[in-house]
Amino acid sequence: MTRPTRSDLDSRRFGVEVFRSVIEDDGDLDAAIACDAELVVARVATASIGAVQRLEAAGFFLTDTLVYFRGATNHFDAPATLEGLQIRDVVERDQLERVTRGAFTDFFGHYHTDPRLDSEAATEGYVEWSCSALAWTDGFVIGAFDDATLAGFATVKIADGAGEIVLNGVAPAYQRRGIYAALVASIGHRLKAAGVGAIFSSTQIQNLGPQKTWARAGLLPGESFHTLHRWR
């Protein structure tokens, strides 16, 4: 059994005591239901219908559903190119902050869909998350640039022979220009060149754009998880 753990970042950001729980067995489920924190965030596999129903009966409510896509890097033959844009590493925090804030304002992740959480604070959570990747030693931040202007980005973490696209976004003014597809192609090629054999990412089930990009790049849908919140 894994007991819920306090999220210091979330607690500080939203000004409430936030505990997180990953439900993998009945012990985890019992511990999440028994947790007396002001806000409990539980994540459970969508296949565990009985666990979801018990959480809902205990006052939890659905806030988002994540789906994972996974694939191999061996077919990423070359980095992508975009007319008028360059793809290279992101090193400047201010540009990354700007694009993240623009891409994730009024997003539909579980922070934004909980009406009791401040929407601006939720957006700043994504900003903090993307900028923290600039200090990673086990990954990189890649971006598409229009001259010196960052148009879109992706943060990538490498562990256990796989590269995860952790967070990505495209500035509103640059959307629908193939930027994200080019970033995914470049990431896959870079991972392949580094000997990393697998690539994966996740997003909310209704966020169809990235899923179509992943499917075209040869990634396939796999496991999925519900996120539920309960307030005391």
Confidence of residue 4 (pLDDT cuts 50, 70, 90): very high
**What per-residue confidence (pLDDT) applies to 104?**
96
CATH topology of domain 71-221: Aminopeptidase (3.40.630)
Q: Which segments of the chain belong to CATH 3.40.630.30?
A: 71-221
pTM to 2 decimal places: 0.94
What pLDDT, in 10s, does the model give residues 12-25?
999 999 999 999 99
**pLDDT of amino acid 82:** 84
pLDDT at 47: 97
Percent of the chain with pLDDT over 90: 94
pLDDT of residue 60 exceeding 80: yes
CA angle 185, 189, 195 (to 5 degrees): 145
Locate tokens 């200090």: which residue?
135
Can you tell me which residue has the tokens 């992706």?
154
Rounded Cα distance, 144 and 69, in Å: 22
Section 123-131 average pLDDT: 96
pLDDT at 1 over 80: no
What digits encode the pLDDT tens for the residues 171-225? 999 999 999 999 999 999 999 999 999 999 999 999 999 999 999 999 999 999 9
Q: 40, 25 in Cβ contact below 8 A?
A: no
Answer yes or no: are the C-beta atoms of 11 and 33 closer than 8 Å.
no
Can you give the pLDDT at residue 59? 98
